[in-house]
Amino acid sequence: MEERLRVLREAASRGFEVLEGGGSALDAVVEAVVVMEDSGLLNAGVGSALTFDGVAELDAGVMSGDGLLGAVAAVRRVKNPVVLARRVAELTDHVLLVGEGAERLAEALGLLVPEGVLVTPEKLRRLEELKARWRRGEDFGWLTRLRRLVEEYPGLFGTVGAAAVDRAGGVAAATSTGGYWLKMRGRVGDTPIPGAGFYAAKGVGACSATGIGEAIIRFMLCRRVCDLIALGLDAQSAADEAVRRMSEELGRGLAGVAAVDAAGRVGFAFNTEVMLVGYARRGKVEAKLLGAPQSL
């Protein structure tokens, strides 16, 4: 756990350095997510989970308050899908590219890596262990009750993301994931879906989500958070209220969010057992494991 917290501190610190150097909120969130994708300790980039048949299919999305929006889904051999998502926003007329089409763009941009970078012998061994547990009926009771696995396998879901506000008041969010272990090939969750896994609104704030993507899509969690900020709530109050409403509508054990409002206030909320968070503000860098709030 301490290694994961170290990665979060580094990600927050690197993102803050970008802002301190005059970079945009979008620059900062992409830099922070790249750190987490490269760590191999979180379920994104190099550390991504594998599908049931042993491939890595990664998703990512980025959005800034000034309208830049891009995402990729089900990409293989791309260790930094958040960078590719930004390129989709900057270089194409599209919002979301998937599979082979997204990989063709990645190849043109020099972003492809050998498949062995993402599908390692260690991951394949872990996949076989999880499949064996599934066959014995010990886990994954498929896939109707994944929630109880979160505590036992901290890296099982573990989507990474970041939200930031820059000196000019610009906001941005970025999210990246490998999905969850034993997913079907071609499954896409909330991460590349604007309003679900990530969202940013000019003059309002930005939000990134993690958890069980199917539920996050149904609730459009990040858009809900930003809409609440637009109504006058600060980032923490908006995050708390959105997750509370999600719990009432869909149940507990589903998701967590990290948010920032245009005033620079941060907020974290979740209805899972735990959530790892990190942030940097006014030069102070923090990373911690949060326990489930009792009020939700």
Q: Which residue has the higher pLDDT, 133 or 166?
A: 166
**Segment 47-55 mean pLDDT:** 96
Distance CA 215, CA 276 (A): 20
Instruction: DSSP letter for 292, please.
Output: P
Residue pointed to by tokens 């879906």: 193
In total, how many domains does the chain have? 1
The domain that holds 264 is classified in CATH as 3.60.20.30
**pLDDT value of position 117:** 97
**pLDDT value of position 141:** 56
- Residue 138: which domain range? 2-291
Which residue out of 51, 120, 144, 159 is catalytically annotated? 159
Distance CA 165, CA 23 (A): 10
Tell me the whole-structure pTM to 2 decimals: 0.93
Q: Within a domain: residue 296?
A: no
Distance CA 1, CA 105 (A): 36
**pLDDT value of position 157:** 56
Express each pLDDT in 213-259 by its tens digit.
Answer: 999 999 999 999 999 999 999 999 999 999 999 999 999 989 999 99
The one-letter amino acid code at 10 reads E
Q: Within a domain: residue 143?
A: yes
- Give 268's strand partners: 258
Q: Within a domain: residue 202?
A: yes
**Confidence band (pLDDT; 50, 70, 90) for 155?**
low
Active site residue 210: no
**Confidence band (pLDDT; 50, 70, 90) for 142?**
very low
Q: Within a domain: residue 69?
A: yes
Are 198 and 68 in contact by the 8 Å Cβ rule? The answer is no
Q: Within a domain: residue 59?
A: yes
